[in-house]
Amino acid sequence: MTNIETDAAGRPIAYDSAGRPIVADTASTYGERTAVRERTGGGMGWLLALVLIVALVVAAFAFKLVNIDQLTSGSAPKVAVEGGSLPTFKVDTATVDVGTKKTEITTPTVSVGTKTTGIDVPTVSVEKADATKN
């Protein structure tokens, strides 16, 4: 069992991740459970800072503290592409011949014995590429 810190009224005190106490909302108490809400410190600070920075930049241009003059005009680079050629290759590949031949195999029959049945068996022959041909 953990010890729970309470305030003067006996309500539990909760802390946020920074170690600050979270204020209990006594208006939404139900039985012994108390809804708690974290104290927030106004979320308008970042917006005020952004507006101040924009105002300072505008003021710097308005009071001629910043002056930008274009000295030369710019242009996109000119790119020229001239003809070329693709590489050529000579490729010798193996010759593959796929076919069938008659072969006798032994297969079981429904009766107690076996019989020999002829079937077509696939064959593959590969002839290596001739490296001496140029």
- In tens, the pLDDT along 95-107 reads 888 899 999 998 8
- Asked whether the whole model's pTM tops 0.75, one would answer no
42 within some domain? no
Helices (H), 9-76: 45-62
133 within some domain? no
Number of domain units in the chain: 1
Cα 118 to Cα 100: distance, rounded to the nearest angstrom? 12
Helix (H) and strand (E) counts in the chain: 1, 5
Helices (H), 3-126: 45-62
Name residue 94's amino acid.
A
56 within some domain? no
115 within some domain? yes
123 within some domain? yes
Question: Are the CB atoms for 130 and 103 separated by under 8 Å?
Answer: no
Q: Which domain holds residue 123?
A: 95-127
The residues, ordered by sequence, that sit 6+ positions from 30 with a Cβ below 8 Å of its Cβ are none
Tally the C-alpha atoms within 13 A of residue 58's C-alpha that lie toward its C-beta: 6
pLDDT the model gives residue 13: 74
Count of residues in the chain:
134
120 within some domain? yes
Tally the C-alpha atoms within 13 A of residue 65's C-alpha that lie toward its C-beta: 8
112 within some domain? yes
Low-confidence residues of the chain, pLDDT below 70? 1-3, 23-42, 111-112, 129, 131-134
CA angle 68, 71, 73 (to 5 degrees): 110
86 within some domain? no
